[in-house]
Structure 1
Amino acid sequence: MNVFIRYAPFIQDYIYRSGWQALRGVQNAAGDAIFGTDDNVLITASTASGKTEAAFFPILTLMDEDPPHSVGVLYIAPLKALINDQFGRLNELCEEAGIPVTRWHGDAPQSQKRNLLRKPAGILQITPESLESLMINKHMEIPSLFGDLRFIVIDEIHSLLRGDRGMQTFCLIERMCRLAGCNPRRIGLSATIGSPEAAGRFLAAGSGRRTVIPRFDGGREVWRLSMEHFYNTAPQADEGKLAVPETPILELPTDTAPKAADPGVGYIFEHTRGKKCLIFTNSREECEAVCQSLRQYCEANHEPERFLIHHGNLSASYRESAEEEMKDDDSLMSVCATATLELGIDIGRLERAFQIDAPFTVSGFLQRMGRTGRRGDPSEMWFVMRENHPEPRAMMPDMIPWYLIQGIALVQLYIEERFVEPPRMGRLPYSLLYHQTMSTLASCGEMTPQELASRVLTLSCFHRVSQEDYRILLRHLLAMDHISRTENGGLIVGLTGERIVNNYKFYAVFQENVEYSVRSGPEELGTIVKPPPVGDKIAIAGRVWLVEEVDHKKRDVYCTLVKGNIPAYFGDVAGDIHTRILERMYGVLNEQKSYPYLMRHAVCRLQDARDTFQKSGMQDHPLVHLGGNMWALFPWLGSYAFLALERFLKIRCGKQLGLKGLNSSRPYYMQFTMKVSEEEFYRITANEAAKEFDPLELVHPKEVPAFEKYDEYVPEELIRKGFALGVLDIDGMRQRVLDWSKN
């Protein structure tokens, strides 16, 4: 098919005006799939490859040829910032054809929402949380809003493949389509899909359509990549060693860090000068600390301040200021950020991304790398791996630079295998089941138990939940007054349940800490958890503030700006690391291969780690004797299999092994004392792993392992079951234990 000729005239005019010489491979392939089939389509292509246009050019053409009588396209994105960014691009594209584009999220104008309800048409852009709100609060409007919906476009779909938020999104899509009586095609967009077939099945669930995954030649990816290691204090890993040969690829940094308390941050300070960069961290606390340090470097060097900050706890004004600054091609400011700038917001001509320590996932690495190289230049990322010198009497596991090894493993997995984490299937999402039950009752009103079950349990993501489990949940909710029974025997939201459902925080299924707004005069700086007492200091927005007043009723903290440097705290951050990453980390330590992106310190530190690996016997023995009765176990398992192994050793094998004092550095190693030999350890663990046992045995008798937001409202027996059968990777753990006994 000549896709360009098939486009509507206003699309062709837009292409001419934009000065395009030809369509890209992704646009031709997507056009064939959208024009030539009636299937769902998963479009996977590198960042800045034109995926949005690849999807919308044919979609808008079909809408132009046969205008729908309601909203024609529902565009779902995980971030408000991404919606705001795409809003301008879509408006420009649709203006000539008179196709309206409406944003629907917490910061969007109410007048636009009212206009859409009055006259549903065009494209509606929305977050999963706002779609949840729409389903509850505008239930009666859903048929008129979406009765003739043709397409649902899900942007950055990879971010929805491994948690409750993604399953919530697809529950909402199924509920909305049933209510509106529509059967739209689903179009998924992503730059980082590891298993397209598995993602395609996830995209299609409950739609009654198959998923087409267009194939095309995306061209050769070119990266500028470097990875350096720093001890937080002198000496560095290469000091006193012979010259290390370097084999740079493309352009690599050669400058050294200035003498400073933190040489890793000093290195970043030097190499952001005169450039527009993003500096990624793995937590909001670290983001605040790094931004504080970099601003102090500016002050010490008598330079104008050139560092901004962006994370989820900052106020909208701070975040949007950073986004606008990044879009300005003339700006030379750099931004310290978390995953909030990882997704596809167009932030202009970004020259370089830094990553402090290793991200948890290959997907996260690729997304962050993809922020750069958007205007024809190669993507460029500099890893900065930091660690403290091991204590003089440190145990052997502390001698391994885990972040450095993890960073190399992430890069190598993608280069060698194109590995990216697959969707997390097979979970038992009882927290989400509670949420969707309450949402369905809140939006639809009174229902019989059978009617409610037929609406909720038939949603695709609950396919593993039995009717008996659902009965247990409903009886529990009745006992707590979250739902109540009417005189007719129907179910409605109870008085206690109304307090939960009527709060705007109900729309989100991701965990939120109780947060306090931080204010300085009239300015809102952002939010924190656990406010300190009056007179103490807090860190937010890359600065330090003195707390002058805490209003616990209104949850407000009032403060003034002071100088200094203190750690921030926003709540715990969990990592989800795949087993393939740990296995490749073993490979990094076991091989003598050199990696061309490693810089001088990193090369020497890797060699030290490999020497430790070889001398300790870790190469052939996952269990290493540390002296006396102390042992270290290196299972090379991802987060959920590692967690299963900890419990398996304690609960199933503990007595036989004489196991005591098990401490873990998840998911790298665990240390413990035991009374048996290495051979007996392998024999005992293999015998236990070979037996059939109930996964619930790996949950302690009175333990209620609540992880998800609404677990507190779920019966304890279901939380235990969901953890044992849906979180713990018992199969992965069991296979690894049996493999030890074969070697």
Structure 2
Amino acid sequence: MGRVRRLSADVVEILRNLGFSTLTEIQRRAIPKVLGGRHVIIIAPTGSGKTEAAFLPVVNEITCNRLKPIAALYITPLRALNRDIFRRLKEFASKLNIQVEVRHGDTTQRRRRLIREKPPHVLITTPETLSLILVDKALRTHLRNVRYVIIDEFHDVLSSKRGSHLLADLERLRRVARSFQRIALSASIGDVNLVKEALAPSSVVDEAVLSTVRKANIVVKAPGLYGGKFLDKVDLISSLIRDYGSTIIFTNTRNEAEWLGSKILTKGFNVSVHHGSLSRVEREEVERRLRSGKVSAVIATSSLELGIDVGHVKGVIQVSSPRQAIKLLQRVGRSMHRVGLEARGVIVTDPMVDDILESLVIARRAISGDLEGLTPYLKPLDVLAHVVVGMGLEGASFKDVYETLTRSYPFRDLSEEDLSKVVELLVKLGYVRFNKGLISTTGRGRLYYLRRTMIVDTSRYSVIDAVSRTYLGDLDEEFVATSLSVDSLIVLAGRVWRVLSIDGDAFKVFVEPASEEEAFIPTWLGETIPVEYLVAREVCALRRLIAENRIPNHYLKLVERNTLSYAIDAISKHVKKGFHIP
């Protein structure tokens, strides 16, 4: 391995012993920049080694400078990604006597207590848990030692209110740690300058960028005749699982994942379901089985979308339009997740013109690198209120809050008047007290801060398997109230369960395994995925091109002939009847 500037001999030797004979291109570009000490944005396709590009130089500096815990925070948007990062980095770090731990919503109370008593050198966490750590007195003391903050999948975080909160929290962290290096990782970003400014406003940010989009083979297919036999949606997905072998099937909603899981099981496949409303034990077991190749397919929502090394997955199936090119690229990128290998994916649509054409346009944009632009939330008042209450727990004045927040990108244009109005509202709600310029959080405000995040949530019932006494997952209160009663059959984790009892006081539903094939598919509250204006406009243009029989070749090679024929026939019949092009 060619030695990178300032990477210690110990680190290089451990890499050799672990089988790393050479660095990847992004690692060769990024490691010297991280070691240079400035903030860094690392952008490269999935499977190119970005994680190690950030982690190796950080571990190098922790070792060489004997930094105290907590020396580094590694922040990712998904708990599954937290676990994956931990699994990948722990062995390497341990050989340098560097402790790595994970702290997020799934972490047991016993583990949290151990982390407080003996904090690690590197703490892997989520944006929401960072907010909690900032007001944890035991851990806050150790945050003074933080010298590095790595943010994985930065593009995903930045385009949500979670990102606005995280960027504000980084400025809150500065009040404790004073100075630390920020390192952001992303597979694909359009406006690099915007990302650099958001990561560290008014600071120099270096970049290590591989501008090429990872090669991917993506095809759009709809139910229809294949080999002289009509295949419906489930049959078509089943045939693709047979062709690929190890497969991840992505859906846009949890209820669709459960429905499809229950249907694919009847086809004789060994499949599992993975989404955020299932228990930690269930999700971790599914991830383990996927990595070890003990499952034919996993049906997942965005819970497995980002950055996770899921083993030798041969192909990805996206069910219906993914709505965004960047999301499709991330999902298909879970397949053939190794340097130099081409990703493989199929979008299986409904037999509907809108779904087919939108999927085709998004596939074209994903392969061409025409990705959606980032639109960070600026001055979101719900985020502002939550941060103010948190800083009241830390002990802060109005001046402290204003100066801290206006250093962050989302709140750089915040006025003192707007902040004053939010503080007044929080006083009326009983969340804070405001006296002589000091903000102090009440007991009620503390509960609000600890229990509320920027993730859309609702009241939930825990589902308990009465036979094994194990917790299976959660159901929304509205679904339980409107759809369930004793003896109801429901699908959860892709399996059918019979409701034995419902405890409204304890918010628990007790179930037992059932052998029936038909059952209620739960519904959960969730955020819809928006479609960018440019995508919608291209779909409209494609309709017109089809009506005029002028379909460009770059679309033809991305869609099954029968599928495109269905859309052509539907639009042609529409036009022949004298209607406007839809």
Same fold (TM over 0.5): yes
Compared CA separation, residues 419 and 294, structure 1 to 2 (3 A): same
Q: Which residue of 2 aligns with 1:333?
A: 296
Give CA deviations for 1:650-670 in whole Å, capped at 9, x if unaligned.
Answer: xxxxxxxxxxxxxxxxxxxxx
Give CA deviations for 1:231-274 in whole Å, capped at 9, x if unaligned.
Answer: xxxxx4x7xxxxxxxxxxxxxxx656666xxx111111122137
SS state at 2:323 partner: coil
Contact 1:164/1:429 (<8 A) preserved: yes
Q: Which residue of 1 aligns with 2:460?
A: 515
SS state at 1:544 partner: strand
Contact 1:34/1:41 (<8 A) preserved: yes
Contact 1:25/1:217 (<8 A) preserved: no
Matched, 1:77 2:76: yes
Contact 1:352/1:380 (<8 A) preserved: yes
Matched, 1:342 2:305: yes
- In structure 1, how many angstroms separate the alpha carbons of the residues matched to 2:400 and 2:50? 41
Cα distance, 1:341 vs. partner?
0.7
Please tell me the residue identity of whatever aligns with 1:102.
E
Q: Which residue of 1 aligns with 2:498?
A: 546
Give CA deviations for 1:407-464 in whole Å, capped at 9, x if unaligned.
Answer: 1111212333x122222136330110111111111232xx554444444455432233
- In structure 2, how many angstroms separate the alpha carbons of the residues matched to 1:286 and 1:545? 17
Q: Which residue of 2 aligns with 1:651?
A: none
Matched, 1:588 2:537: no
SS state at 2:310 partner: coil
1:363-442 map, 5 Å: 363-375=326-338, 377-387=341-351, 401-416=353-368, 418-425=369-376, 427-442=378-393
- In structure 2, how many angstroms separate the alpha carbons of the residues matched to 1:192 and 1:257? 39
Q: Which residue of 2 aligns with 1:51?
A: 50
Compared CA separation, residues 430 and 271, structure 1 to 2 (3 A): same
Please tell me the residue identity of whatever aligns with 1:30.
A
Q: Which residue of 1 aligns with 2:190?
A: 194
Please tell me the residue identity of whatever aligns with 1:223.
A
Q: Which residue of 2 aligns with 1:296?
A: 266
Out of 405, 410, 426, which is 1:477 matched to? 426
Q: Which residue of 1 aligns with 2:204?
A: 210
Q: Which residue of 2 aligns with 1:149?
A: 146
Contact 1:258/1:267 (<8 A) preserved: no
- In structure 2, how many angstroms separate the alpha carbons of the residues matched to 1:368 and 1:451? 41
TM-score by length of 1: 0.71
Contact 2:164/2:378 (<8 A) preserved: no
- In structure 2, how many angstroms separate the alpha carbons of the residues matched to 1:611 and 1:492? 67
- In structure 2, how many angstroms separate the alpha carbons of the residues matched to 1:371 and 1:130? 26
Give CA deviations for 1:659-693 in whole Å, capped at 9, x if unaligned.
Answer: xxxxxxxxxxxxxxxxxxxxxxxxxxxxxxxxxxx
Contact 1:3/1:28 (<8 A) preserved: no
Cα distance, 1:150 vs. partner?
2.2
Give CA deviations for 1:471-504 in whole Å, capped at 9, x if unaligned.
Answer: 2222222222222346x67442235434423xx4
Q: Which residue of 2 aligns with 1:468?
A: 417
Q: Which residue of 2 aligns with 1:134?
A: 133
SS state at 2:349 partner: strand
Cα distance, 1:558 vs. partner?
1.4
- In structure 2, how many angstroms separate the alpha carbons of the residues matched to 1:132 and 1:16? 38
SS state at 1:54 partner: helix
Q: Which residue of 1 aligns with 2:572?
A: 611
- In structure 1, how many angstroms separate the alpha carbons of the residues matched to 2:150 and 2:423? 34
SS state at 1:528 partner: strand
Contact 2:313/2:335 (<8 A) preserved: yes
Cα distance, 1:528 vs. partner?
0.8
Give CA deviations for 1:613-634 in whole Å, capped at 9, x if unaligned.
Answer: 766899xxxxx59xxxxxxxx7
Contact 2:171/2:404 (<8 A) preserved: no
Give CA deviations for 1:285-323 in whole Å, capped at 9, x if unaligned.
Answer: 11111111111222xxxxxx4111001111112111110
Please tell me the residue identity of whatever aligns with 1:519.
I
Compared CA separation, residues 322 and 118, structure 1 to 2 (3 A): closer
- In structure 2, how many angstroms separate the alpha carbons of the residues matched to 1:167 and 1:3? 38
Contact 1:293/1:565 (<8 A) preserved: no
Contact 1:257/1:267 (<8 A) preserved: no
- In structure 1, how many angstroms separate the alpha carbons of the residues matched to 2:66 and 2:147? 10
Please tell me the residue identity of whatever aligns with 1:155.
D
Cα distance, 1:187 vs. partner?
0.9
- In structure 1, how many angstroms separate the alpha carbons of the residues matched to 2:510 and 2:394? 38
Compared CA separation, residues 224 and 450, structure 1 to 2 (3 A): closer
Please tell me the residue identity of whatever aligns with 1:212.
D
Q: Which residue of 1 aligns with 2:548?
A: none
Please tell me the residue identity of whatever aligns with 2:388.
T
SS state at 1:474 partner: helix
Please tell me the residue identity of whatever aligns with 1:607.
I
Contact 2:45/2:188 (<8 A) preserved: yes
- In structure 2, how many angstroms separate the alpha carbons of the residues matched to 1:448 and 1:16? 52
Contact 2:74/2:152 (<8 A) preserved: yes
- In structure 1, how many angstroms separate the alpha carbons of the residues matched to 2:239 and 2:387? 50
Matched, 1:278 2:253: no
Contact 2:406/2:413 (<8 A) preserved: no
Q: Which residue of 1 aligns with 2:527?
A: 573
Contact 1:117/1:145 (<8 A) preserved: no
Give CA deviations for 1:695-737 in whole Å, capped at 9, x if unaligned.
Answer: xxxxxxxxxxxxxxxxxxxxxxxxxxxxxxxxxxxxxxxxxxx
Give CA deviations for 1:549-579 in whole Å, capped at 9, x if unaligned.
Answer: 2111111111233311433211243122111
- In structure 2, how many angstroms separate the alpha carbons of the residues matched to 1:491 and 1:99? 38
SS state at 1:461 partner: coil
SS state at 2:511 partner: strand
Q: Which residue of 2 aligns with 1:179?
A: 176
Contact 1:517/1:526 (<8 A) preserved: yes
Please tell me the residue identity of whatever aligns with 2:523.
Y
Please tell me the residue identity of whatever aligns with 2:59.
L
Q: Which residue of 2 aligns with 1:707?
A: none
Q: Which residue of 2 aligns with 1:393?
A: none
- In structure 2, how many angstroms separate the alpha carbons of the residues matched to 1:472 and 1:113? 36
The aligned length equals 564
- In structure 2, how many angstroms separate the alpha carbons of the residues matched to 1:435 and 1:38? 32
SS state at 1:4 partner: coil
Cα distance, 1:609 vs. partner?
4.8
Q: Which residue of 2 aligns with 1:158?
A: 155
Q: Which residue of 2 aligns with 1:267?
A: 236
Higher RCO structure, 1 or 2 (CA under 8 Å, sep 6+): 2
Give CA deviations for 1:381-403 in whole Å, capped at 9, x if unaligned.
Answer: 1111113xxxxxxxxxxxx6111
Matched, 1:227 2:223: no
Please tell me the residue identity of whatever aligns with 1:523.
T
SS state at 2:222 partner: strand
Give CA deviations for 1:33-65 in whole Å, capped at 9, x if unaligned.
Answer: 223x43211111111111111112222223332
Cα distance, 1:279 vs. partner?
0.9
Greater Rg by CA: 1
Please tell me the residue identity of whatever aligns with 2:290.
M
Compared CA separation, residues 112 and 176, structure 1 to 2 (3 A): same
Please tell me the residue identity of whatever aligns with 2:248.
L
Matched, 1:361 2:306: no
